[in-house]
């Protein structure tokens, strides 16, 4: 069964500006304290790694692959968690007007143990995604 958690926020900034912040992997710590030490190749199938530190969860090294990216619009990577489940992590930018966007970020868990994992960690991940959106909004609008 698939389960999803998503956070959306309106940001007064251009899609260009948000995209520049999003793909500046070495400086994610300016707005993302939950996914750090980000390294990756922005290319289809590109290797992607980071350390996840969600509230009330131990830090965990993530090795993933970029599965989709479209400049100014989306960045998606997939992490296999053994044979039990897969995590799809995404950022999507929707420009409403020049200088006004909606940012959506979330995680989609797929597979045998996905629902159990989400039931256990939903609150922590939701809190982390909300914090991440608030920080990104503040940085992009400053």
Given a cut of 90, whether residue 113 has pLDDT beyond it is no
At 62-86, the pLDDT tens digits run 999 999 999 999 999 998 776 677 8
At 5-59, the pLDDT tens digits run 999 999 999 999 999 999 999 999 999 999 999 998 889 999 989 999 988 889 9
- In the chain, the domains with their CATH numbers are 3-141 (3.30.530.20)
Share of the chain above pLDDT 90, in %: 68
Please report, for residues 119, 126, 137, the alpha-carbon distance to residue 46 in angstroms, rounded to integers and kept in the order given. 30, 27, 27
Per-residue DSSP letters for 62-119? Answer: EEEEEEEEETTTEEEEEEEETTTEEEEEEEEEEEEETTEEEEEEEEEEEETTHHHHHH
The pTM assigned to this predicted structure is 0.90
Would you state the pLDDT for residue 57? 85
Residue 96: which pLDDT band, with cuts at 50, 70 and 90? Answer: very high
Q: 135 and 67 in contact (C-beta within 8 Å)? A: no
């Amino acid at each position: 069964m698939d389960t999803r958690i998503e956070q959306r926020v309106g940001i007064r900034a251009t899609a260009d500006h948000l995209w520049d912040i999003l793909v500046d992997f070495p400086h994610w710590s300016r707005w993302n304290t939950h996914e750090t030490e980000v390294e990756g190749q922005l290319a289809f199938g590109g290797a992607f790694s980071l350390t996840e530190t969600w509230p009330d969860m131990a830090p965990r090294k993530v090795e993933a692959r970029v599965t989709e990216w479209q400049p100014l619009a989306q960045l998606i990577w997939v992490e296999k968690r053994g044979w039990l489940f897969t995590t799809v992590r995404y950022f999507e930018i929707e420009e409403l007007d020049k200088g006004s966007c909606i940012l959506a970020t979330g995680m989609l868990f797929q597979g045998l143990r996905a629902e159990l994992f989400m039931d256990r960690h939903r609150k922590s991940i939701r809190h982390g995604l909300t914090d991440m959106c608030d920080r990104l909004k503040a940085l992009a609008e400053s």
